Structure 1
Amino acid sequence: MMRLKFMILLTGISLLAIGSAEAQHLWWDTKKLNEATCLYGEVTVLATLHSIYYCGANWHPGEPAGGYCGIQHNDPKERRTIFSIWDTSPKLHPKVTQADPKTIFNRFGGEGEGSHTHMLWDWQVGETFQFFVRKQPGFAPGTTDTRYYIYELGSKKWRHSATITSPNGDKKSTASVATIGGGGLGSFLENFGGKDQDVPKLALYRLWLGNKVDEMKCLTQAQGDGTWGQLHDAYFLAEGKHLDALFEKLKEKHGAPVFGREGKKLGPISNKPLPKGLTKELMAIRQADKVQGK
């Protein structure tokens, strides 16, 4: 049931497509970082096909103002990055309050409702997509800003894609709205079109979580479902047949995979520090302009 709920809620795509969607998930051990408000992540896609969403992070699924972000292979000609937040409650809705000029934003509905943003983003196989999510008190009392930043390899600069501002609601909902820690934290690979499931897709995932930018800690343990495991000192998710041939092709550079299975615990990956100079970069990102939210 949880897996089906995950597939339905996370993309906001049509029910027709959802009916045949398939996904593999990672569930991260957040080391009891219940008050964490900062999340840095890396996703490296090693094999892909269109109609695939590589969710780097999905926090507080099914809870007030849960959210998700990542990269999508939308169709043969288009790739994008997505960042969205669900409603705090049926009557308390988030709004986009800051956005990059190239960010598209709107409300989404269907199974779950909230604020959706995306930006065309021509990420490439083999390149590491870097993202940063930060929650801070909003300008208006009783609100929380969730900011989404992405690193542009070409310019070697961070871009502020969007800020989504959520009403905190009551004391119980505020615990979810104002934090990234303290609830479920996952990553996933979803074939939202439900087609070409035999074609290999593969992505590596790493996350760092903390209360402050300079206190983020590497998350070293996760469990999963579907086809998952460890590769190149990271966790992987995969879909498709003939994965053995793909892993053999990648072996010289990435090593051999260690496969997990549902309910099985693998040993931790290494406790990597944040990339050198990253903390300073994250603290100095130029903020996007204010917008009239939807």
Structure 2
Amino acid sequence: MKKTSLLIVCIILGCTIYAAAQPSKAIIPLGGNAWVKGNALLTDTGVTSWKSAKDIISIYFRADAAQELMLALRLRVPMGKSRVSITIGKNVFIKQVANPVFDTITIGTVAVQPGYLKIDLKGLSKTGRTYADVTDLVVSGINPGNELTYVKTGSSFHFGRRGPSVHLRYDIPQEIKKDVKWFYNEITVPQKMDVTGSYFMADGFNGGYFGMQVNSATERRVLFSVWSPFNTDDPKSIPDSLRVKLLKKGATVHGGEFGDEGSGGQSYMNYPWMAGKTYAFLLKAEPDNLHNITTYTAWFKDIAAGKWLLIASFSRPQTNSYLNGLYSFVENFEPNNGDKVRMAYFTGQWLGDSAGKWHRITGATYTGDETARKNYRKDYSGGLTGGKLYLRNGGFFNDLTPLNQKFSLSAGSHQPAIDLKNLPQ
């Protein structure tokens, strides 16, 4: 029966015609999904100044199902002609390109398996000054049900290239829900997981965060910050009545302000912490009912050295409560290192009440930020391994742990032995 006859019959009988799902296409912008080794320039609009044969441009996306995909690049060659190689797993395509205006250049068809794919671009020869300007990877023939994961146009390429942040949100025992004066936690970063741009945050709370960072190849910090209740990204705009005040700090600690992601008081100590070693973090909250402020104080301990160090003490206005909203996280704040894996173990979580009695944390919920929740990136995991809580992100690994899982802790850790009355002041 012809399609027109079938349509007439269906209209008369009231039946429904279902169109077969068609293969789709994805345009993957290099600005949010590529990394460069070498001197080529990568911006939100793509790759330019690609001059050296030593430059490698790596593009990543993730497929949910095995199939064949057709790949192409949107590019131009400003002058002359260029030969470039495109490597996808064991597949190597050599293309000669000479279009002076942007056009979509077919690469070829590849069979893919579920997981992340890496596409490497390298220059082989050129007659002009640069190999090409490249804006997008175009993926065609995507079967229905094979979702591709990548950072979409219209989202933040900055946060997409930083990668997903993951958190552990700790259960607070019901009997001390409003009486958590102390929060104790430990972090161990495994060898080779201490990537530049990483923040391993131990003691987060509704009001601030406290942990350790890798700021460069030569600088590492222990950082403690408290947000102002005034909502702004500009610390200079905070009224005096809503300003977080630094009350005291350790002798080698820098005190100041922060902005851009909320604003408030910030302190940090340069400290050569090392991967493979365990460090302790202790946070204290003292609410002042009369003046409607709460004072937060943070101490750090290199467990092997056996000595507590004062980081800082801040007063936060319009706040009158003990600690709540307790959590830890791992994030990357350096977009150029979003293609590298980082990981941390979190152990020994304990809470102290206002009477000095310790209570063990017995569970945590594993969550992610918007980059993870919106499926821009799926290289994140967390939960329990070997009885330890852990978080891992970045680097385009494939063993994804779905978000919003709850993990229970066994009674393995010992109550911290801390002389609370004699901590350094």
Please state which band the TM-score falls in when normalised by the shorter chain. Answer: 0.7 to 0.9
For residues 242 and 233 of structure 1, what CA distance do their matches in structure 2 show? Answer: 25
Q: Residue 122 of structure 1: which of 249, 263, 272 is its match? A: 272
Paired residue for 2:263? 113
CA separation of 1:199 and 1:266: change in aligned 2, threshold 3 A: same
Please say if 1:227 is aligned against 2:381. Answer: yes
Q: Letter of the 1:148 partner, please give it.
A: A
Higher mean displacement: 68-77 or 91-100: 91-100
Q: Letter of the 2:335 partner, please give it.
A: G
Judge conservation of contact 1:213–1:282 (CA < 8 Å) in 2: no
- Superposition TM-score, scaled by structure 2 size: 0.52
Which protein has the bigger strand share?
2
Q: Residue 218 of structure 1: which of 360, 363, 371 is its match? A: 360
For residues 41 and 204 of structure 1, what CA distance do their matches in structure 2 show? Answer: 10
Q: Aligned to 1:131, what secondary structure does the other structure show?
A: strand
Unaligned regions of 5+ residues in structure 2, if any? 1-155, 231-237, 368-379
Q: Aligned to 1:116, what secondary structure does the other structure show?
A: strand
For residues 155 and 264 of structure 1, what CA distance do their matches in structure 2 show? Answer: 36
For residues 246 and 289 of structure 2, what CA distance do their matches in structure 1 show? Answer: 13
For residues 199 and 161 of structure 2, what CA distance do their matches in structure 1 show? Answer: 14
Q: Aligned to 1:188, what secondary structure does the other structure show?
A: strand
CA separation of 1:154 and 1:128: change in aligned 2, threshold 3 A: closer
Please say if 1:236 is aligned against 2:390. Answer: yes
What's the CA shift string for 1:233-264, capped at 9, x where partnerless? 221001245869xxxxxxxxxxxxx9853132
Q: Residue 52 of structure 1: which of 182, 191, 198 is its match? A: 198
Q: Aligned to 1:283, what secondary structure does the other structure show?
A: helix
Deviation at 1:111, TM superposition (A): 2.8
Please say if 1:188 is aligned against 2:329. Answer: yes
For residues 163 and 68 of structure 1, what CA distance do their matches in structure 2 show? Answer: 13
Judge conservation of contact 2:203–2:283 (CA < 8 Å) in 1: no
Paired residue for 1:143? 293
Paired residue for 1:285? 423
Which protein has the bigger helix share?
1
RMSD: 2.7
Larger radius of gyration: 2
Judge conservation of contact 1:234–1:269 (CA < 8 Å) in 2: no
Q: Aligned to 2:356, what secondary structure does the other structure show?
A: helix
Deviation at 1:82, TM superposition (A): 0.5
Deviation at 1:229, TM superposition (A): 1.5
For residues 285 and 331 of structure 2, what CA distance do their matches in structure 1 show? Answer: 26
- Superposition TM-score, scaled by structure 1 size: 0.74
Judge conservation of contact 1:137–1:145 (CA < 8 Å) in 2: yes
Q: Percent identity?
A: 25
Judge conservation of contact 2:162–2:337 (CA < 8 Å) in 1: no
Q: Aligned to 1:195, what secondary structure does the other structure show?
A: helix
Paired residue for 1:63? none
Judge conservation of contact 2:345–2:390 (CA < 8 Å) in 1: yes
Judge conservation of contact 1:54–1:189 (CA < 8 Å) in 2: yes
Judge conservation of contact 2:196–2:337 (CA < 8 Å) in 1: no
Report how many residues are paired.
243
Unaligned regions of 5+ residues in structure 1, if any? 1-14, 61-65, 245-257, 288-294
What's the CA shift string for 1:183-221, capped at 9, x where partnerless? x22211101112333433210113212313732222121
5 Å matches for 1:261-272? 261-270=402-411, 272=413
